[in-house]
Structure 1
Amino acid sequence: MPAFPYSTTTTSTPTAVAVPPQLALPVIEAVFPRQLHAYWPQLQEKTRGWLLEKRLMPADKVEEHADGLCYTDLMAGYYIGAPDEVLQAIADYSAWFFVWDDRHDRDIVHGRPAAWRRLRSALHTALDSPREHLRHQDALVAGLADSVLRFYSFLSPAWNARFARHFHAVIEAYDREFHNRTEGVVPTVEEYLALRRLTFAHWIWTDLLEPSAGCELPDAVRKNPAYRRPALLSQEFAAWYNDLCSLPKELAGDEVHNLGISLVKHDGLTLEEAVREMRRRVEECVSEFLVAEQEGLRFADGLADGTVRGKELGAAVRDCLGNMRNWFSSVYWFHHESGRYMVDSWDDRSTPPYVDDEAAGEK
């Protein structure tokens, strides 16, 4: 089955996906054509097999839901040009991330703080010594160890240390979410936006642009505003559009972490006003990215100074910017094709059909 047989790339063919008017972004459909890595069919098959091998989802859940969740489609539409083994590692890790997110949610829903504390501690340890955790009794810990060990083979020890530092921060942000939800604390808008950059793993997905481009970027390039701003905007778009699309699911599940929920709680907006404000922010991300993208391309041109290294860096920055752009369309269509957001079709709007409560955390 093709990832998207109903592309809206450069043709006027209407999409077979019904995008609700409140979620439709014509600028994405018109200006951000969809792409798909040629490796996608193998990627989907191998990630499905990896989920089974690592015991991250029961066989019946993999059979019924894995393809429809579209996790591999999301990554195959993002990291265009990545070597096959890099994309495979990213796709497996992405699938792991979604499973981890579901475990975190179920541990909260079922009141399993001890299970969460054990998992949090083990993930921190596995991140620093993955080889020693490949056979950990918790499948999530072993799955993370497998993923990061593959990542750590692509670039330098400095990149590995940066990735680990960024993901340690993500784990801690998930812990803050655990306590917020357990205690019913809705963060303010500013608190939420800062936390969201971590729980959405903005800098992890940005870090992975480098092995996809086959080039580790020096700090002077990576931290330059001309590179960092489009990177941040692409991730902010994804996080906020996710909030917009997942708001019904999260309201049904008594969530406290959603931009819309913070806007209602702390800024006094009605739900309808909050949705409009979220849309405004999402659309502003798109328009600001289009400006920042041009600045980034000028920056890439300036790096290509006639030296071999300059040419390599300029090309890598162009590749990374191209994939930042791909993130917009990949995220947009993922939210309308993945069963993860089809809450209206679930038997229980608060319990996703692709999770297995009995397999997660404490029995």
Structure 2
Amino acid sequence: MPADKVEEYADGLCYTDLMAGYYIGATDEVLQAIADYSAWFFVWDDRHDRDIVHRRPAAWRRLRSCLHAALDSPRTHLHHEDPLVAGFADSVVRLYSFLPRTWNLRFARHFHQVIEAYDREFHNRTEGVVPTVEEYLALRRFTFAHWIWTDLLEPTAGRELPDRVRKHPAYRRAALLSQEFAAWYNDLCSLPKELAGDEVHNLGISLIKHEGLTLEEAVNEVRRRVEKCVSDFLVAEKDALRFADDLADGTVSGKELSAAVQACVCNMRNWFSTVYWFHHESGRYMVDSWDDRSTPPYVNNEAAGEK
């Protein structure tokens, strides 16, 4: 974003407000790091989009490679010539400072998967491939970064959760439903922009292409799936909170672990209200007020990343 566009649009995009509603209970330092990382994520998403629209595969390949490298060695990329890479490195250094190395390695593993999912989306969009519904839903878990946002519940709660907790069906189902809701509601709100831009990566578009639904039917089906996430989560949340209660085994460590899991599950619930609020308050989705419904007015359409 050029400086004048930052001044005009940045606050209205509500990116930092979004994270403040997700991660209740985080220290100021943790919340600031997550909010800055989230803002970076949106900018990265827009760069990826512009590289697709302007057919810049070399620029995307270079960025993809640099992000993988910065993830594994962030301190050596803090002064990278591409501000997007330098900003990512700065965010990663800060996020890596809160919990043990085992959490950092997991975060890195999950984000490497996100980068590769963005690469698959790049090729699908440049080649005009609309994934099937099931293919899309599987890929969406990575392009939306389900496990990254779930990982960030832990520094918010102030401790790393052991595998036996994170991988427990009760915890994992509640986490997955909160992320599926967010991803699919995002698809619902992004559909007008993405149809205007002839995009291929949206649940509604996959339903139209592969299930033969009309636009109205596809919108209703996405809405149905979104509403089912809410009702399913209310059941899963109870199971997850019971699981958290069971972790309090009379020891100090058990009590602390139980409290941390309760905090994580409560913030899973916060995704629902905050995602809903964000999509109706952020200027990112107000396509009816844009001159071009496919292109946000704050996006710099110059060849960023191309040398």
Q: TM-score normalised by the shorter chain: which range applies? A: over 0.9
CA distance in 2, matches of 1:173, 1:343: 26
Moved beyond 2 Å, runs of 4+: none
- The CA RMSD measured in Å over matched residues stands at 0.8
CA distance in 1, matches of 2:175, 2:254: 21
Aligned residue for 1:164? 108
How far apart are residue 348 of structure 1 and its match?
1.2
**From 23, 30, 35, the counterpart of 1:86:** 30
Q: Is the CA contact (8 Å cut-off) linking 2:14 and 2:282 kept in structure 1?
A: yes
Q: Is the CA contact (8 Å cut-off) linking 2:78 and 2:89 kept in structure 1?
A: yes
What are the Cα deviations for residues 170-213 of structure 1, in whole angstroms up to 9, with x where unaligned?
00000000000000000000000000000000000000000000
Q: Give the secondary-structure state (helix, strand or coil) at the position aligned to 1:358.
A: coil
Aligned residue for 1:308? 252
Letter in 1 for 2:176: L
Letter in 1 for 2:16: T
How far apart are residue 349 of structure 1 and its match?
1.2
CA distance in 2, matches of 1:153, 1:111: 37
1:340-359 paired onto structure 2 within 5 Å: 340-358=284-302
**From 17, 22, 41, the counterpart of 1:73:** 17
1:257-272 paired onto structure 2 within 5 Å: 257-272=201-216
Aligned residues: 307
How far apart are residue 66 of structure 1 and its match?
0.6
Q: Give the secondary-structure state (helix, strand or coil) at the position aligned to 1:334.
A: helix
Aligned residue for 2:73? 129
CA distance in 2, matches of 1:318, 1:283: 24
CA distance in 2, matches of 1:267, 1:246: 20
CA distance in 2, matches of 1:105, 1:157: 33
TM-score, length-normalised on structure 1?
Answer: 0.84
What are the Cα deviations for residues 139-190 of structure 1, in whole angstroms up to 9, with x where unaligned?
1100110000001100010000000000000000000000000000000000
Q: Is the CA contact (8 Å cut-off) linking 2:193 and 2:295 kept in structure 1?
A: no
Q: Structure 1 residue 174 and structure 2 residue 118: aligned?
A: yes
What are the Cα deviations for residues 244-291 of structure 1, in whole angstroms up to 9, with x where unaligned?
111001001111000000001001111111111101100000000000
**From 293, 310, 313, the counterpart of 2:237:** 293
Aligned residue for 2:8? 64
Aligned residue for 1:146? 90
How far apart are residue 351 of structure 1 and its match?
1.5
- Of Structure 1 and Structure 2, which has the larger fraction of its residues in helix? 2
Letter in 2 for 1:182: T
How far apart are residue 347 of structure 1 and its match?
1.1
Aligned residue for 1:361? 305
CA distance in 2, matches of 1:162, 1:296: 22
Aligned residue for 2:224? 280
Identity %: 86
Gaps of 5+ in 1: 1-56
Gaps of 5+ in 2: none
